[in-house]
Amino acid sequence: MKINRNIYLGLIFLMVGTSFVVSSCTSESEVVIEKKPLREVTIITDKSDEWKFGNQAYKHADNIVGFGPRPAQSKALEKTRQYIQSELEKRSWSVKRQSFVADTSFGKYQFVNLIARYVPEGKDLNTVWRSEHRGVVGAHIDTKKIPGLNYVGAVDAAGSVGQLIEMADFMGKHAPSMAAEIELVFFDGEEALGKNMFYKSAGKDGLYGSHYYALNRNRKREFGIILDLLGQKNQKVKVPSDSPAFLYKDLMEIAGRHGVSENFGKASFPILDDHVPLSIFGTPSIDIIAEFSSDDGWWHQKGDTMDQLSVEQLGVSLRVAIDLVATQLEK
């Protein structure tokens, strides 16, 4: 890092010097565009990681989709949880279940989030679970129950769940001290049980898991990152308009460093997703979510199957997400 910082400072000096020379030779009517140097972001991934990220995330998504539709309280959702737990435990992450019953407009519902912490070599589980952590990264495991449809939610959000398992894999192997600073959460009950999601002081439908987690594991972390609807073959990441400025800035700088900034940006509106309860309860959180629309043929429609997912797009967006986590932890 020290070497990078020196190079970076050198670059600033060069650029300031250059812009001074350019300004001094131009007439007043000419517009001088000063190139700002890139702020230092922490890149721990490599271009060569993308294929493995995408390929492995795709395989996890395929296995999860293979369990069938996984709405709240379904057997397929429980199989999904067991799959995630076993994949994480193989990679030295400890998993806890956070079960609760919520009163909904459709009666009492049982939900179960999975929470995971990295177990560094030689550390016992009690110490791991008691230790502080600085960030939370999550994705939702349930699918929307759509009457009359065998809706398996490959993009929404098996791909993002697969990415989170691979993030755990990569961080544990290549950045274990960073892995120990984050908590991973696999949220149940993101989807509304009725037609539309809403989240108000007067009541809610959807975001059951993230609301319960934020309310009951109420530690204020420095940052939260949610992955949702990632890996679709025409992916354009558009984060909510009200994303925390520091996370959005770093996201865009990392996307620029990876040469994919044209596929990343901000929506012109807020989006209701699992980052909302986290932010409300004190952890500033960003939702790395790609564009979706009821006209796209897959979002909450029968077309949301494995052929919508792209290994390449899963890989690219996971790489950006991992480097965003690393950048926050390097601060």
Handedness of CA 308, 69, 168, 109 (dihedral sign): positive
CB atoms within 10 A of CB 110: 12
Nearest residue (CB) to Zn ion, 156 versus 166: 156
Burial class (CB in 10 A: 0-12, 13-18, 19+), 214: buried
Do residues 250 and 43 lie in contact, with contact meaning Cβ atoms separated by under 8 Å? no
Query: What minimum distance in Å lies between the beta carbon of 288 and Zn ion?
Result: 15
Helix, strand, coil abundance in the chain, percent, nearest 5: 45, 20, 40
Nearest residue (CB) to Zn ion, 111 versus 118: 111
Nearest residue (CB) to Zn ion, 170 versus 186: 186
Q: Is 210 left (phi over 0), alpha (psi -120 to 50) or beta?
A: alpha
> Cα–Cα distance between 175 and 172 in angstroms, integer?
6
Nearest residue (CB) to Zn ion, 221 versus 300: 300
Q: What amino acid occupies position 308?
A: Q
Query: What minimum distance in Å lies between the beta carbon of 272 and Zn ion?
Result: 11
Query: What minimum distance in Å lies between the beta carbon of 156 and Zn ion?
Result: 4
Convert residues 105-144 into a mask of x (bound to Zn ion by CB under 5 A) and - (unbound).
----------------------------------------
Window contacting Zn ion (CB under 5 A); options: 4-12, 95-103, 156-164, 268-276: 156-164
Window contacting Zn ion (CB under 5 A); options: 76-84, 152-160, 180-188, 313-321: 152-160
CA-to-CA separations, 144 to 31, 74, 151, 158, 304, in angstroms, rounded: 52, 11, 7, 12, 11
Query: What minimum distance in Å lies between the beta carbon of 144 and Zn ion?
Result: 5
Nearest residue (CB) to Zn ion, 87 versus 156: 156
Query: What minimum distance in Å lies between the beta carbon of 171 and Zn ion?
Result: 26
Nearest residue (CB) to Zn ion, 18 versus 234: 234
DSSP 152-174: --IIIIIHHHHHHHHHHHHHHHH
Query: What minimum distance in Å lies between the beta carbon of 98 and Zn ion?
Result: 21
What's the chain's Rg over C-alpha atoms? 21
With CB under 5 A, what is the number of residues at the site for Zn ion?
1
Please give the residues from 173 up to 212 whose contact with Zn ion meets the rule CB under 5 A: none
Query: What minimum distance in Å lies between the beta carbon of 111 and Zn ion?
Result: 16
CB closest to Zn ion, residue no? 156
Binder of Zn ion out of 50, 142, 156, 166 (CB under 5 A): 156
Nearest residue (CB) to Zn ion, 181 versus 191: 191
> Cα–Cα distance between 321 and 254 in angstroms, integer?
9
Contact residues toward Zn ion (CB under 5 A) are 156
